Homo-oligomer: A and B are copies of this chain.
Amino acid sequence: MDLQPHAATPDIPETSDELASQAGLERMFSPQSIAVVGASEASLGSVVFQNLHRDFPGRLYPVNQRRAEVHGVAAYPTVDDLPEAVDMAVILTPAATVPDIVERCAARGIGGAVVPSAGFAEAGPEGRAWQQRMTDIALSYAFPIVGPNCNGFYNNQGRVAATFAFPADSDRPKMGPAAVVSQSGGFGSYILLKAIAGGLHVGWYLSTGNEADLNVARGLQYLIEQPEVRVMLTFLEAVRSPEVFLNVAARAAELGKPVVAVKAGYTSEGSRAALSHTASIVGSGDVYDAICRQYGIIQAASVEQMVDFGLALQTGRTMSGRRLGVMTHSGGSGVLIADVAETVGLRVPALPGADQEHLGSLMPSFASPANPVDLTGAFNMDNFGAVFSGLAASDGVDALLPLIFHVGDREAEATKNVYAATEKALAVATTLSAPTLTEVGIPAYSDPARAVRALGAVAEFAESMRRYQRVERPAPFPDRAQKVRALLAREAGQPFVLESVAKQVLAEYGIPVSREAIADSADAAVAAARELGGPVALKALSYGLPHKSDSGALRLGLAGDEAVRRGYEEMLESIRSANPDIKVEGVLVQEMVPASVEISCGLQRDPVFGPVVAVGIGGALIEIVGGAVLLVPPFTHRMAADAVARIAGGRLRTVSRGLTDVQAELIATVMTGLGTLGLEIPEVESVDINPVRVEGSGAKAVDALLMVSA
């Protein structure tokens, strides 16, 4: 193995040229002065103005050509009349008027624009043109734009409610560490209201709408750097800047800030719906899943679950293991909680003996102090706090889940005390709600299963962070790239690269391949077979035969000169008799490689996220077994070995005749080689190695199909 050490940064373009700078966004998102163009006393122009007017501590100017004042504040006819170049303008005028106003803002040195107005790309060709003009202005002036067709943003700390996501007279979200980001304004508002109702403390809300300039990924990239943001919730549709998204994911992992994402379009039904909705590519759900796992992005299955997870994660508490301490008033509910725990990889282990003894002394003799701690209905509630504290203090658990049917004053008091005394993650399950707990930031859920899954997300995130490694892009290796390109140049214009050449390419990336030679006559084949020793396989190399075994272009296990000679002649004869026009470039004489297990390993390119390496069961079984695992390069050897351990739901590593540790390492080497190849030679469109034959301490690629993009 002579793979180069990973040394440089990932292949993600610097974004400063394309996207507004962080400082530029800072000015727009935390402004000292704001103009509201189209401020009025009716409809959205009124809601947004009033929302800002109510809380914003800076200078606020309504802009309205037809009114001297708006809601009692002196108005200016145009942005040019404003007494200063404000830090941010909200533009609420009809779509046709917006591009000119945006340009005037940009020209005047205003800091950026938020455009809630609709009627742009979503409404037809005319609107599309207006939106394109906004994009052009954003680029040429480096002028950041949020929207159009969004519902703005809310900066809770800065008291900037540049939004109609909530009405002017509504309670403001409680300030806190959560940031909510959604492309869709309508659904974003829905998510925000659910988040607030669920008990999330929201510091930031942002909807990006049609994304003429700022998109969700860029919004996340800005917010992840804000010190007060400690958890991000996002509803993703199309990922418009995949490279920025990957940057955000890496940055979130480095900062240890969880990102909880609901992605739309992850199934074929969803993709179809998405196509008719945005006409943009959604990307493969499997690749997106692989990225989430690599970077520790937490996937939620619904908005409700996103809020549930956010509630547990906004506490900043983590879990050093997967052991749950459960306390209930009913044995059956404890069993159910243990069931759900297992489905998300948590355990509910019996407590250490001393802890059981201590808890037992506080409970009726027939109650169970084991875990789930079952207080039973006959429990003396005077001891509730003591048992709860005892459970929290046990070294046998990493997180706490009490099911408290009714959170009265006594239960709330005890819970707050326990929460203050421990650093462990804690989630309360209760019947309907427990506002006394959620308002002080203690997560509470109206269903035990939801509480369990939220703690499961905390454990998963903690584990992701322990596993996470900053992965650098492999150093460029110009000699290798040049050599490989020279090999591939000979195959230019062909539908695929001959197997013999594909294997030379793979060998350059440290991938072990079968020993073999090319023969152009029966004599040469016999000589090559002697040189290789042992029985051999013969494979006819032809651009007309991509799948050799289906077309008689393959002979296996030929031992001895005579068998090789006869095999060579028969094979060519049978190919020619089936198709006289076929051109055979040569015959590959290949050693027979023994195998106890066959693995397939491939490189593909996702239209959104680029190169992807897949590993799975090899041979003909792959269709039946399924369970391939994906990694997006760059990745480390350890990440590859971890991927191998997850093939077929982990069974390939655990069954009696499955892969050994050494074999898994060999497969990881094949994967890292493919990953490096995928990054280094972008014109390699795909590689399919099936199978890699594995036996003892050896593994070799015995067949490979490599395609180059036209």
Contact = CB atoms under 8 A, between A and B. Distances in A.
A197 interface: yes
A214 to B, nearest CB: 17
Interface in A355-395: 364-366, 368, 370, 372, 374, 376-378
Interface in A248-295: 262, 264-270, 272-274, 276-278
Contacts of A242: none
Contacts of A546: none
A122 B366 contact: yes
22 contacts: A124-B366, A194-B447, A197-B431, A264-B332, A264-B333, A265-B339, A266-B339, A267-B343, A268-B342, A269-B341, A270-B336, A270-B338, A272-B338, A301-B340, A302-B448, A302-B449, A303-B447, A621-B625, A623-B655, A624-B652, A625-B648, A626-B648
Contacts of A183: 332
Contacts of A342: 267-270
Given A127-B366, A194-B447, 12 more contacts: A118-B377, A187-B330, A187-B332, A237-B335, A264-B333, A264-B335, A268-B342, A278-B331, A302-B449, A303-B336, A621-B621, A624-B652
A431 B307 CA distance: 13
Contacts of A656: 623
Given A302-B340, A376-B122, A193 B658 contact: no
A302 B447 contact: yes
A447 B338 contact: no
Contacts of A498: none
B405 A273 contact: no
A182 B341 CA distance: 21
Interface in A626-670: 626, 648-649, 651-652, 655-658
A201 interface: no
Please give me the 8 A-B residue pairs with the lowest Cβ-Cβ distance, nearest first: A302-B449, A270-B339, A277-B331, A304-B447, A264-B335, A267-B342, A273-B338, A269-B342
A141 interface: no
B405 A186 contact: yes
A539 interface: no
A552 B620 CA distance: 29
A197 B432 contact: yes
A189 B329 CA distance: 12
A531 B278 CA distance: 71
B303 A448 contact: yes
A149 B378 CA distance: 10
Which of A274, A339, A374, A378: most chain B Cβ within 10 A? A339
A: interface residue count bin: 35 or more
Interface in A287-336: 301-305, 329-336
A123 B366 contact: yes
A350 interface: yes
Nearest to A278: B331
Contacts of A305: 449
A450 interface: yes
Contacts of A333: 184, 186-187, 190, 264
Contacts of A512: none
Number of copies: 2
Contacts of A149: 377
A348 interface: yes
A147 interface: no
Contacts of A649: 626
A446 interface: yes
A235 interface: yes
A347 interface: yes
A617 interface: yes
A304 B450 contact: yes
B376 A269 contact: no
Interface of A: 118-119, 122-124, 127, 149, 182-187, 189-190, 193-194, 197, 235, 237, 262, 264-270, 272-274, 276-278, 301-305, 329-343, 346-348, 350, 364-366, 368, 370, 372, 374, 376-378, 405, 431-432, 446-450, 617, 620-621, 623-626, 648-649, 651-652, 655-658
Nearest to A236: B332
B265 A335 contact: yes
Nearest to A365: B124
Nearest to A341: B269
B366 A334 contact: no
Nearest to A366: B123
A621 to B, nearest CB: 7
Contact of A277 (B182, B262, B368): B368
Contact of A338 (B189, B269, B329, B330): B269
Contacts of A652: 624
Contacts of A122: 366, 376
B190 A431 contact: yes
Nearest to A304: B447
A651 B648 CA distance: 14
A189 B370 CA distance: 24
A431 B194 contact: yes
A350 B304 contact: no
Contacts of A301: 340, 343, 449
Contacts of A446: 194, 304
Nearest to A116: B377
A346 B651 CA distance: 30
A446 B620 CA distance: 46
Contacts of A370: 276
A351 B127 CA distance: 27
A123 B341 CA distance: 28
A548 to B, nearest CB: 17
A186 B377 contact: yes
Given A266-B339, A338-B272, A374 B331 contact: no
A123 B364 CA distance: 8
A385 to B, nearest CB: 20
A258 B305 CA distance: 27
B625 A347 contact: no
Contacts of A262: 336
Given A278-B331, A370-B276, A617 B624 contact: yes
Given A118-B377, A193-B432, A342-B270, A304 B648 contact: no
Contacts of A372: 273, 277
Nearest to A446: B304
A410 B431 CA distance: 31
Nearest to A305: B449
A405 B189 contact: yes
Contacts of A366: 122-124, 127
A339 B267 contact: yes
